[in-house]
Amino acid sequence: MAELITIDDPDDPRLHDYTGLTDVELRRRREPAEGLFIAEGEKVIRRARDAGYEMRSMLLSAKWVDVMRDVIEESTAPVYAVTPALAEQVTGYHVHRGALASLERKQLPPAEELLRGARRVAVLESLVDHTNIGAIFRSAAALGMDAVLLSPDCADPLYRRSVKVSMGAVFSVPYARLDSWPRDLETVREAGFRLLALTPDEKATPLDTVAPHRLDRVALMLGAEGDGLSARALRAADEWVRIPMAHGVDSLNVGAAAAVSFYAVATGRPQD
Amino acid sequence: MAELITIDDPDDPRLHDYTGLTDVELRRRREPAEGLFIAEGEKVIRRARDAGYEMRSMLLSAKWVDVMRDVIEESTAPVYAVTPALAEQVTGYHVHRGALASLERKQLPPAEELLRGARRVAVLESLVDHTNIGAIFRSAAALGMDAVLLSPDCADPLYRRSVKVSMGAVFSVPYARLDSWPRDLETVREAGFRLLALTPDEKATPLDTVAPHRLDRVALMLGAEGDGLSARALRAADEWVRIPMAHGVDSLNVGAAAAVSFYAVATGRPQD
């Protein structure tokens, strides 16, 4: 069983994993460098544990020590019991959900490994918004995408906000980062995938007529909110596809576009 | 041409429309009672104007007086030129987009009127989150929904956050509020619509097999994030439909579910 340690000094070095959580720039550098990530709220912490992430510690206010009793009992990581006020001093914000955990990152698998067993993958280019990353993982999990591949400059799926918005789907949908962009798309093609680039371009094939679910293996490429896929990424694709839009409307939000296209490549897929 | 008035007193009563914008509770009461709403940023202000909303005033920092020159010239409403610091004092936040407008609400049409010319409508129950409302209107516009009907307790599509997230789609997609819920769903049915209730329930028909686009008139009912449609609303529907989900996943975010279902009821629709 984990050791339960009451802490009342906000400068206690054991709380280091949880300091300055509202400083996005700082945390974005620190967390990958230190090999950790933060999960927030009972449900998300449980999902991280169930997905096999190793606990470094938990930071709980009194009420949550009871709720998380079973997790504490089966863990060996220290549990820091603090007042809500101290939690706020350390993290920089009022921790509504009263429970934080610091967990060890795992080594990401190489893309080749993920592609081996997959039939439907999403490939994201330059998505820097943590909310959008989280939303896309949540939809990917619900709509049965097998994996997500990220361009080198995509935001971190394990950043606290991404984890939260995804409702923990970042733990269940396997993902990998491509090292060289867009060159590594060749790896995806060599693994037998047809690369479909989502774009509002009029020349693209409407998604409902391309029948992507009839294809054996599909990689669906999505670009960032606003600009969409880069010209280089579009050139590297096998085919351009578009979601049919009403006249005079710019585009869908990238989260909505992802959900629609995941649905389109899944629909009609033979039952597993 | 509008009168350009430089204001340097944050308590100037002419700035009343813009006070305390960060106080959601206050603004939620005040704005409908005073018959106004706030649009933020050049693009959204232009869209409100293009949609025929009457300008009460604009609040601009110097830079934006130039950018909005043409709007100012064709308007008769006063334009208040202020420093960014004064804008922040009045509104309560740093106005990133530098341009605010206060506009007159219009009387909402009765549901019957909207339904007359429509073929695809969304019916929203108890959606109280302004971000979700905005996101759903944006998808409704892009995916060609003809109108949106709101249950009495839905959040205000003209609240600043909804307007912003919708990118102005709340101005272009006609909407109405039902007075009596769920009784007024009968009005929708009498107008010739088939009421499809979106639910994760296993007993529901998968959305891709129900072929809603073959129906002449479809009303797609969506409930709130978390709880989904109420039992009363589900009973009032003609048919239950579901988005096929991967095993073990709770649900899609309501914005994603809306986008997917709008796409499903639009796809295959004969070209207009």
Confidence of residue B101 (pLDDT cuts 50, 70, 90): very high
**With an 8 Å Cβ cutoff, is B176 touching chain A?**
no
- The crossing angle, in degrees rounded to 10, of helices B254-266 and B130-142 is 20
Nearest CA in chain B to A268: B208
**With an 8 Å Cβ cutoff, is B210 touching chain A?**
no
Across the A:B interface, residue pairs with CB atoms under 8 Å apart total 97
Shortest Cα distance, chain A CAs vs residue B89, angstroms:
23
Locus of tokens 């101005």: B171
Stretch B48-55: mean pLDDT: 95
Residue of B142, B208, B246 with shortest CB distance to A245: B142
Say whether pLDDT at B76 is over 70.
Answer: yes
**With an 8 Å Cβ cutoff, is A135 touching chain B?**
yes
Which CATH code of 3.40.1280.10, 1.10.10.10, 3.40.50.970, 2.170.130.10 fits the domain covering B111-266?
3.40.1280.10
Shortest Cα distance, chain A CAs vs residue B131, angstroms:
12
**With an 8 Å Cβ cutoff, is B263 touching chain A?**
yes
Q: What is the strand order of the sheet A205-206 is part of?
A: A175-177, A147-150, A120-124, A218-222, A194-198, A239-242, A205-206
**With an 8 Å Cβ cutoff, is A245 touching chain B?**
yes
Report the topology of domain B4-104: 60s Ribosomal Protein L30; Chain: A; (3.30.1330)
pLDDT of residue B164: 94
pLDDT of residue A270: 36
Enter the ipTM: 0.90
Q: Please write the tens of the pLDDT for every residue from A117-171.
A: 999 999 999 999 999 999 999 999 999 999 999 999 999 999 999 999 999 999 9
Helix runs in chain B, H state only: 24-34, 42-50, 62-67, 69-74, 84-91, 111-116, 130-142, 160-165, 169-172, 185-190, 207-210, 231-236, 254-266
| Paired tokens of A122 | 């999403």
| Paired tokens of B56 | 């009460």
Q: Please write the tens of the pLDDT for every residue from B143-168.
A: 999 999 999 999 999 999 999 999 99
Q: Do B143 and A268 touch (CB under 8 A)?
A: no
Confidence of residue B268 (pLDDT cuts 50, 70, 90): low
Domain residue limits, chain B: 4-104, 111-266
Q: Please write the tens of the pLDDT for every residue from B200-250.
A: 998 999 988 887 777 789 999 999 987 899 999 999 999 999 998 887 676
Whether B182 contacts B219, CB under 8 Å: no
Nearest of B160, B120, B110, B156 to residue B141 by alpha carbon: B120
Q: What CA–CA distance (Å, rounded) separates B140 from A252?
A: 9
**With an 8 Å Cβ cutoff, is A191 touching chain B?**
no
Shortest Cα distance, chain B CAs vs residue A244, angstroms:
7
CB crowding B232-259: b at 16 or more within 10 Å, else e: ebbebbeebbbbbbbeebebbbbbbbbb
pLDDT of residue A268: 52
Chain A residues with CB-CB distance to B243 below 8 A: 142-143, 263
Locus of tokens 């004064």: B86
Residue of B172, B253, B268 with shortest CB distance to A135: B253
Residue of A144, A249, A263 with shortest CB distance to B260: A263
Confidence of residue B272 (pLDDT cuts 50, 70, 90): very low
Say whether pLDDT at B110 is over 50.
Answer: yes
Q: Which residues of chain A have pLDDT under 50?
A: 269-272
Q: Do B256 and A144 touch (CB under 8 A)?
A: no
